[in-house]
Amino acid sequence: MSITKPAPDLPALRKIAVELRQTILRMIAKAGSGHPGGSLSMVELLVGLYWHALRHDPKRPSWPDRDLFFLSKGHGCPALYAVLAFRGYFPNEELMTLRRYPTRLQG
C-alpha cells in the first residue's frame, strides 16, 4: 500500500533553508573554525528530509518506527546540528556552543 504525502510548501522550506544557512555561518564564525561549504551544500537535502520525508518525532527520539539518517560527511555536522535544533531535538541556543569544550556539539 502506498501512502502519499501532501506536496511540501516550497516557499516555507526555502525560508527555513535560508535561516539554517545563516545559523550555520554564525555557528562556524563563533567557533572560529570549520568548513562552511560542507554544511551549506547539504541544507536543501536536510530540509527535504527532516521537514517532509523522514518519520521522526523530537518528543520521542527513541521511537522504534522512526526513520534513521546516517551522516558520513563530517564537515556537514554543523548543518545536521542546526536542523536537529530547528526541529526541536535541543534548544537553538546550544548551537552557539559548536566546538566548545565540554559541549556535545563537537563536530
Residue located via cell numbers 546550544: 94
Which cell numbers hold the place of 12?
Answer: 516555507
Average pLDDT over every residue of 50-72? 96
Residue-averaged pLDDT of the chain? 93
What's the rounded Cα separation, in Å, for the pair 93 and 82? Answer: 10
With 70 as the cut, is the pLDDT of residue 71 above it?
yes
3-state SS record for 49-78: HHHHHCCCCCCCCCCCCCCCCCCCCHHHHH
User: Tell me: the pLDDT tens digits for 8-29?
Assistant: 899 999 999 999 999 999 999 9
Tens of pLDDT along 75-86? 999 999 999 999
- The full set of domain ranges for the chain reads 10-53+68-97
